[in-house]
Amino acid sequence: MKPKPSPGGGARRSAPKSAREKPAAGPQSPTFASAAKALRALGIDLEQLVAGDGPRVKVVCVKPDLRASLDEMEGATRDQVVMVRIDEATSRALDGWVETGTLKSRSEAAAVFIREGLKVREKELAGLEQHLAEVEQARARLRKKAREVLGGGS
């Protein structure tokens, strides 16, 4: 994936094209029907959760293991540094994954779970990217207008 310039001057990576084009798992999809059946056996009405008048609920289906994320990370260069502050419970959870030997470091553990979290919110992030593109276009028009006002041409 090629990085996109972000408003702050860094790089923003977009989701892989194949991930963005996945069909939604709506009420007519086999995935939804399968999940609804399994949850119904537990006394949970998925249709009511999704379409009900109560609080909005997002239902996502995730693979039962992290193999796909680990495989994706093996082929990717991890050269972007993000410093975050986390609470003690999160730190212990990351350390637990490292202790199992499945992940090499806290950094790798954090990268895996950030990747997983972004996948879960992929649809929302795609919408945000559209709005960010509009903001970037507006900023470009603003800079152009400012140059014109200051006599710098177009």
User: Per residue in 9-38, pLDDT tens?
Assistant: 444 444 444 443 444 556 667 877 888 888
| Residue 124 · residue 60 · CB < 8 Å | no
Q: pLDDT: is 49 or 61 the higher one?
A: 49
CA distance 111 to 92: 15
pLDDT, tens digit (0-9, with 9 covering 90-100), for 89-127: 999 999 999 999 989 999 999 999 998 888 888 888 888
Distances (CA, A) of 18 to 1, 21, 24, 116, 122: 11, 5, 13, 16, 12
pLDDT of residue 152 exceeding 80: no
| Residue 6 · residue 12 · CB < 8 Å | yes
**β-strand pairing of 11-13 with 3-5:** antiparallel
